[in-house]
Structures are given as structure tokens and as C-alpha cells.
Amino acid sequence: MARKRLAPAKPDFLTQDSPAPHGGAQPATRMTGPPIAQVAAEASAQSALQGLADDVSRARAAGKMILDIPLSEIAPDYLARDRIGVDGEEMKALMDSIAKNGQRTPIEVMQIEGPFQYGLISGWRRLMALELLHKDSPNSGRFATVQALLRKPDASADAYVAMVEENEIRVGLSYYERASVAAEAVKRGVFETEKQALLTLFATASRPKRSRIRSFIEIYHALGDRLRYPSHIPERLGLSLVEALRSDAGMAEKIRTGLVEKPTHSPNAEIALLSRLSAPPKVVKESNVPRAEHLEQHLENGLVLSLRGEKIEISGKPMDAETLARVAELLGSEPF
């Protein structure tokens, strides 16, 4: 009996699609490899995705990820701002730059409780510029969000330090602006005393510099609600103002009244007015005091009595002892 030759083995038997027998349903596609390999691959992919998610979470928590946050979710006045105001031309230039090139530098925010989800730490000018641009084009959506880094200060004091440091590096602060943020932080309970606020917010400043900031705090308390351009007060004028306030109890009210009666419309005008109001009264020099007229009287005994300013002269002839004694008596002196 002849042997039947067997057909060679098909290497793709496990992977090829066989036609459905008798027109039945197509069988399910077979696996291309061992089941354990597919399980390992899926586990590896899942681990990689989880690792990526963890990296993203860590970067977000560390403030290293730039987020797009809606403007409506940020409280711009969460901290007492150290920047008193912004020049109109500067703001216009910043708005033009953002409109043309986009926001180049992110702001800094922290999560807070309340109606807003985030509180602004630094970047007030950029946030204001975006809000103004969004107000001009409310339907475009281009300026509806702001790029921000999410920070996690351990305390409100750290947030204030971050704000001050950022503005000192970027634009510098006037002495009045430094003083105002220290005083406001104390008002809000961030620091117990102004001395503590100065030592914390300006820890890297020299002792003389902190002393000058402390002096400007006195201006903030005495005149802050009347000044229109306080950040423009130069250092020398500020120290003169403080000296005047300390030496004259009525000086603060005098300056406040003068600022109301003669409102100014420019920094230079306000500086000039402050200089005049705080100047000490002029002392009339002796040379300008009108002297008494020259008076002269001839007496019966032949003597001549002359008054020259504050000097009295007796002349005419030698005086005898009796006359000299009478003169001394009249002048309230003992006789010679």
C-alpha cells in the first residue's frame, strides 16, 4: 500500500485568516505573538503613561508648568500691590507688544479659596494689559487667558516676598512703593509689625536702605490718601518730608490741606508743591531788619545824647562824677 505524502507545514498557519466554513461567521483574528508578550507590552505602555502623568503632576506642583488660565479666575488684588501705578505710555507699549508677539513671560499665581480660584503673586502689569486687550476684543478669545506658573508659597509672607523680588529685579521699586507694601502687609495681618515686614520683605537690603524705607512708611501713613503721584517722590525730598513731619506736629495737616486746595496734575507739580509746603519758615537776616533812625538830643548841661540803632552815646564834654552817677542810676546800675 503506497504511503500518502504529507503536505509541508504552513508557517503562517496561526496568523492567516481562514475562510469561514460553509458561509459562517469569520473567525476572530489570532494573536500575533505569545499572550505573555502582549500583556507585558500593555503593562509597559501603561507604566509609561502613568510615569508621564506623574511627571506632569510634579511639574505642575513645583510651578514648572505654564498653564493657560482664564482671566476671570484670577484675583488681581489678592496681595496689596507694590506697584502704585503704571504710566499710560508704558501700558500702551506693553499692550502693543502682547498684541503683536503674544505674552512672552508668564505671571505667577497661587491657588486660593473664595470666588476666584487663583490669586495673583506677580505680573500685575501683564495681567492688566491682557484684560484691557480682552475688553477691546471680547469675542476673539485670543486674550481671554493668561499664561501662568502655579506657585505654592508656604505662607502669605512668602507670596509677598516673591512679588517684591520679582518687581525689584524687573523694574525696580520706589521707596514709597516699598514702604506701602510693607505697611499694607501689616494691615492685612501677614506680619505683626512693620519692622518684621521690612526685615522679611527686604532681607537682602542694607540696613541704611531699610531705614529709608521705614521713613517713607511715615509718609504713607500721614499723606498716603492725599498724594496722587507718591511713587515719584525722590529720596531726598522724602527724607525732608519726614524730618518736617517729625519736627512739627501740625505739618501733616498743613500739607494735606495744601494738597487739597492746590491739586496737581503731574508728578513734577506735586513734587514742587510738597517742597514748598514742607519748607521751614524763612528766617529774616539781621541785615534786612530796619534799624532805628538816628536820634540826637542836646541837653541843658551841654551834653549830647545820641541813639544809633541799639547804641546810646553821650558826648559833648567830660562828665563830672555827679552826672555819671545819675546816668548809672537811670540805667539801673551801681554808681562808679
User: Domain boundary at 154, 189, 216, which?
Assistant: 154
Are residues 70 and 129 located together in one domain of the fold? yes
Are residues 234 and 259 located together in one domain of the fold? yes
How far CA 182 is from CA of 165, 213, 221, 239, 260, in Å, comes to 13, 9, 12, 18, 26
pTM, 2 dp? 0.53
44 in a structural domain: no
For the chain, give the percent of residues with pLDDT over 90.
Answer: 28
pLDDT of residue 123: 82
User: Which CATH number belongs to the domain containing residue 198 in this structure?
Assistant: 1.10.10
Are residues 147 and 68 located together in one domain of the fold? yes
Are residues 233 and 274 located together in one domain of the fold? yes
Q: Nine-digit cell at 124?
A: 500685575
How far CA 297 is from CA of 262, 315, 316, 318, 329, in Å, comes to 55, 10, 11, 17, 20
Q: Which domain holds residue 223?
A: 174-280
20 in a structural domain: no
81 in a structural domain: yes
Q: How many domains in the chain?
A: 3
pLDDT of residue 189: 78
316 in a structural domain: yes
16 in a structural domain: no
In the 3-class helix/strand/coil scheme, how is the chain assigned residue by residue?
Answer: CCCCCCCCCCCCCCCCCCCCHHHCCCCCCCCCCCHHHHHHHHHHHHHHHHHHHHHHHHHHHCCCCEEEEEHHHEECCCCCCCCCCCCHHHHHHHHHHHHHHCCCCCEEEEECCCCCCEEEEECHHHHHHHHHHHHHCCCCCCCCEEEEEEECCCCHHHHHHHHHHHHHHHCCCCHHHHHHHHHHHHHCCCCCCHHHHHHHHCCCCCHHHHHHHHHHHHHHHHHCCCCCCHHHCCHHHHHHHHHHHHHCCCHHHHHHHHHHHCCCCCHHHHHHHHHHHHCCCCCCCHHHCCCCCCEEEECCCCCEEEEECCEEEEECCCCCHHHHHHHHHHCCCCCC
Are residues 149 and 126 located together in one domain of the fold? yes
Angle in degrees, 0-180, between the axes of helices 235-247 and 267-278, rounded to the nearest 10 = 30
Identify the segments of the chain with pLDDT beneath 50. Answer: 13, 289
Are residues 142 and 221 located together in one domain of the fold? no
User: Which CATH number belongs to the domain containing residue 120 in this structure?
Assistant: 3.90.1530.10
Contacts of 77 (CB under 8 A, 6+ apart): 120
Residue 232: Cβ within 10 Å count: 17
pLDDT of residue 239: 94
At which residue does the C-alpha cell 502693543 appear? Answer: 96
Q: What is the pLDDT of residues 232-252, one digit of tens each?
A: 999 999 999 999 999 998 999
Are residues 237 and 213 located together in one domain of the fold? yes
Distance separating alpha carbons of residues 256 and 260, to the nearest angstrom: 6
29 in a structural domain: no
Find, among 129, 48, 128, the residue nearest to 95 by Cα: 129
270 in a structural domain: yes
Distance separating alpha carbons of residues 173 and 213, to the nearest angstrom: 11
Are residues 248 and 227 located together in one domain of the fold? yes
Are residues 130 and 200 located together in one domain of the fold? no
269 in a structural domain: yes
User: Domain boundary at 122, 154, 186, which?
Assistant: 154
Q: Which residues pair with 314 in a beta bridge?
A: 305
Q: What is the mean pLDDT of the chain?
A: 78
Q: Let me know the angle formed at the C-alpha of 335 by 330 and 336, rounded to the nearest 5 degrees.
A: 130
Are residues 195 and 266 located together in one domain of the fold? yes
